[in-house]
Amino acid sequence: MKHETTTPSAESQAKGFSPGFAALGLEAALLTTLDTLGYEEPTPIQREAIPPLLAGRDLLGQAATGTGKTAAFTLPLLQRIAHSARRCPSVLILVPTRELAIQVAESVTRYGKELRVSVLPVYGGQAIGPQLYALKRGVDVVVATPGRALDHIKRKTLQLKTVQTVVLDEADEMLDMGFAEDLDAILEQTPKERQTALFSATMPPRIASIAKRHLKEPVEIKIAKEPLKAGAAPRVHQTAYIVARQHKEMALARILDMEAPKSALVFCRTRIEVDEITAMLTGRGHKAEAIHGGMNQPQRDRVMNSFRSGQTELLVATDVAARGLDIPSVSHVVNYDLPTSPEGYVHRIGRTGRAGREGAAITVIDPREQRLLWNIEQLTKAKIVVTPVPTVADLRTKRLARIKSAIEDVLAAGELDLFRAVATALAEEGNPTEVAAAALKLVFRLQGGERKEQDIPAMPSRQPERPSMGRRPMGDPRSQPSRMMPREGQGRPFSPPGRGGRTAGMAKVYIGAGREAGIRPGDLVGAIANEAGLNSNVIGAVEVMDRFSLVEVPEVLAREIIEALSRTRIKGQKVGVRLFLDQPRGGRA
Ligand code: AMP
């Protein structure tokens, strides 16, 4: 669907703001903020969603995390509320987990800095006192998980009469977590004439039904629906590494230390990231240079000449900066952030593997972005192999092998006269093998090999859900366990585990409360995601029995999850939590 877009104002163009964002009708204060954040152009979802949301339309958007959807709804909504009455909730954003509530509230604060809007994240597990105080003082935007929002509504501490816009973010996940009725109850408390936007990574019929009930003639947006042309993706070796957000930078450093590419393009999303990553890589001894839209032509020319001559090995760039450049074929393209569309990915990796040469495309993502990666894989029909981040030991072995091969080259080339006398003298003093080992140690140290480093925790990678196996309670609620199946599970076979079996790499956690205590699968997923600070999509099958529940979690995280759950209350009660050791089929827990 096409929308009219406002022409960028003369004022915003004159100030040199991103014409892409200005063309969407965003006001100068927001353009300033985007400029400060180093955003160079809108992502596809932002281009499509911002104009209709600014115009007050309802919206149904299919977009995964990592596409820039938070800014897509936040920017227009902030602009709409910034000049109206303040300090009573004007925007309510509902999200599935505490982690996301915090993250979205941070984004809203960041985007609303110039407009001075106040934001409050509201989620379960957090003391209610400070939330009550903040709500009483008044806020403009509330970002809440459905359970806690409903709590406040019942206590009459959250009034929704003044709400102009409601956003349902990651709606499919909220439904998977059993929040459907809560959503209905919350929306009922908001004015009928409100604006509603619903975002979901998938659009199963139950999302369509909730959209039908609560959205008025929504503009529908679906990003990346068309498969790309066959053969659009170059035939290069494609690898992805999945690590927690806080470890991404370290993982990138480790991967580049391991690969030691001679000519690589490293893509980041923002100018600020480009500068930070360049500084980090330079600090580790890589020959890296930045290129982005904030640089003038002579600066860019200098960087490009240095890259073309091979003096610079890693060119760290934003898409916008790279677009206009005549870049020679590189050995590696590295995505420090996934591009926001499959087309963007294909465009980036097309810089390597040209003219029959070998090429490698490497992507580092956080677990929330796996769906975007899977979309790219589907649309390009090319396999992206999810690989563990190299360990400290892997890197050590690789460095030593590299030194060995360099020494063999030097031996073959000869011309060692200058060094032979010293080598002979050292060998006469001691054992020649020890002398060689000491020389190796010196080279190893000079190459940063003795830097103190830690292994990066593995994050389980997961396969997208099969349409027939949603994360929904199955069977007769009285005689069958309420069971939710894993939504994703790459690297492990997708099979319903049942109580007798276990999925490879997964452990089962026993929780001493079940249906009789009012437990629903969503309570357990929410508690684990929130208390252990994990993305809920790492959680596998959930079975709620009458008196107890079983939850499948990645083996590597089991201990951490058990400790976190033992400290917390589930549905207001302290419950026993332990590792569940499999019984023979039919055995009772
Ligand atoms: P989201 O899909 O909302 O989780 O956003 C994913 C990431 O993209 C966040 O880290 C944002 O800061 C970043 N981002 C969003 N929009 C843009 C943009 N137009 N340019 C660069 N980065 C962006």
Burial of 249 (0-12, 13-18, 19+ CB in 10 A): middle
Last residue of a domain, one of 222, 249, 275: 222
What is the mean predicted confidence (pLDDT) over 204-212? 91
CA of 335 to the centre of ligand 1 (A): 14
Expressed in angstroms and rounded, the spacing between residue 102 Cα and the centre of ligand 1 is 16
Q: Are residues 355 and 294 in the same domain?
A: yes
Atom 5 (ligand 1): residue with closest C-alpha? 68
pLDDT bucket at 316, cuts 50 / 70 / 90? very high
Same domain, 146 and 247: no
* Shared domain check, 271 and 155: no
Question: What is the Å distance from ligand 1's center to 34 Cα?
Answer: 11
The predicted model gives 331-349 an average pLDDT of 89
> Which residue shows structure tokens 């929002």?
149
Confidence check: pLDDT of 481 > 80:
no
Q: How far is the CA of 159 from the centre of ligand 1 (A)?
A: 31
The domain boundary residue, chosen from 164, 194, 222 = 222
Helix pair 248-259, 392-413: axis angle to 10 deg:
20
Residue ID of nearest Cα to ligand 1 atom 1: 68
| Ligand 1 centroid, distance to 343 Cα (angstroms) | 17
Q: How far is residue 448 from each of residues 254, 320, 395, 432, 441, measured CA to CA in Å?
A: 12, 33, 11, 25, 11
218 in the same domain as 295: no
- For the chain, what is the mean pLDDT? 82
Distance (angstroms) between ligand 1 centre and the Cα of 47 equals: 13
Residues of the chain with pLDDT > 70, as a percent, come to: 85
- Ligand 1 centroid–CA 68 distance in Å is 4
User: What CATH number corresponds to the domain at position 294?
Assistant: 3.40.50.300
Q: How far is the CA of 65 from the centre of ligand 1 (A)?
A: 9
* Integer Cα distance of 156 and 161 in angstroms: 12
Instruction: Please give the residue that has the higher pLDDT: either 63 or 487.
Output: 63
Q: Give the number of domains in the chain.
A: 4
Ligand 1 atom 18: residue of nearest CA: 39
Q: Which of 110, 221, 340, 369 to probe ligand 1 with, by most ligand atoms within 8 A of CB?
A: 340
Q: Which residue has the tokens 């100030």?
A: 15
Residue 442 lies in a domain: no
Pair type for strands 482-484 and 542-544: antiparallel
CB crowding 254-292: b at 16 or more within 10 Å, else e: bbbbbbebebbbbbbbbbbbbbbbbebbeeeebebbbbb
CA nearest ligand 1 atom 20, residue: 39
pLDDT band of 503, cuts 50, 70, 90: low
Same structural domain for residues 334 and 381?
yes
Domain CATH for 549: 3.30.70.330
Asked whether residue 135 falls in the same domain as residue 188, the answer is: yes
Q: What is the pLDDT of residue 2?
A: 39
CB 423 within 8 A of CB 435: yes
- Name the residue with the closest Cα to ligand 1, atom 13: 68
Would you state the pLDDT for residue 89?
93
- Do 60 and 133 share a domain, yes or no? yes
Same domain, 20 and 69: yes
460 domain-assigned: no
Mutate which of 30, 39, 104 for ligand 1? The one with the most ligand atoms within 8 Å of its CB, which is: 39
Q: Is the dihedral of CA 241, 243, 248, 253 positive or negative?
A: negative
4 lies in some domain: no
CA of 487 to the centre of ligand 1 (A): 24
pLDDT tens digits along 98-132: 889 999 999 999 999 888 899 999 988 778 888 88
Residue nearest to atom 16 of ligand 1 (CA): 68
Beta pairing, strands 549-554 & 542-544? antiparallel
pLDDT of residue 502: 53
**Ligand 1 atom 12, closest CA:** 68
Helix 69-81 and helix 98-111, axial crossing angle in degrees, nearest 10: 50
CA 90 / ligand 1 centre spacing (Å): 23
Ligand 1 center to 71 CA (angstroms): 7
The whole-number pLDDT of residue 73 equals 97
Residue 558 lies in a domain: yes
Q: Atom 17 in ligand 1: which residue has the minimum CA distance?
A: 68
Q: Which one of 73, 77, 270 would you pick to mutate in the ligand 1 pocket, going by the greatest count of ligand atoms within 8 A of its CB? A: 270
Q: Is 478 exposed, middle or buried (0-12, 13-18, 19+ CB in 10 A)?
A: exposed
**The ligand 1 atom nearest the CA atom of 66:** 2
Question: Do residue 141 and residue 267 come from a single domain?
Answer: no
Tell whether 83 is covered by a domain. Answer: yes
Single pTM value for the model? 0.69
Q: Which domain holds residue 411?
A: 395-433
Ligand 1 atom with least separation from CA of 67: 2
* Packing angle of the helix pair 128-137, 146-155 (nearest 10 deg): 70
**Within-domain flag for 461:** no
Same-domain pairing of 200 and 322? no
Q: Which of 157-166, 174-183, 380-389 has the highest mean pLDDT?
A: 157-166
Tokens in use for 566? 């033992």
pLDDT digit string (tens) for 209-231? 999 999 999 999 987 655 556 55
Same domain, 499 and 563: yes
Among 386, 406, 421, identify where a domain stops.
Answer: 386
> Whats the size of the chain, residue-wise?
589
Both 103 and 178 in one domain: the answer is yes
CA 372 to centroid of ligand 1, rounded, Å: 13
27: left (phi over 0), alpha (psi -120 to 50) or beta: beta
Is the model more confident about 497 or about 567?
567
Whether the CB-CB separation of 372 and 338 falls below 8 Å is answered with: yes
The pLDDT of residue 500 is 40
Pocket of ligand 1 (CB under 6 A): 39, 42-43, 46, 65-71, 269-270
**What is the model's pLDDT at position 485?**
37
* Candidate from 26, 35, 73, 269 with most ligand 1 atoms within 8 A of CB, to mutate: 269
Q: Nearest to residue 274, comparing CAs of 336, 317, 306?
A: 317
Q: What is the pLDDT of residue 584?
A: 36
Is 449 within the bounds of a domain? Answer: no
For residue 470, being part of any structural domain is answered with no
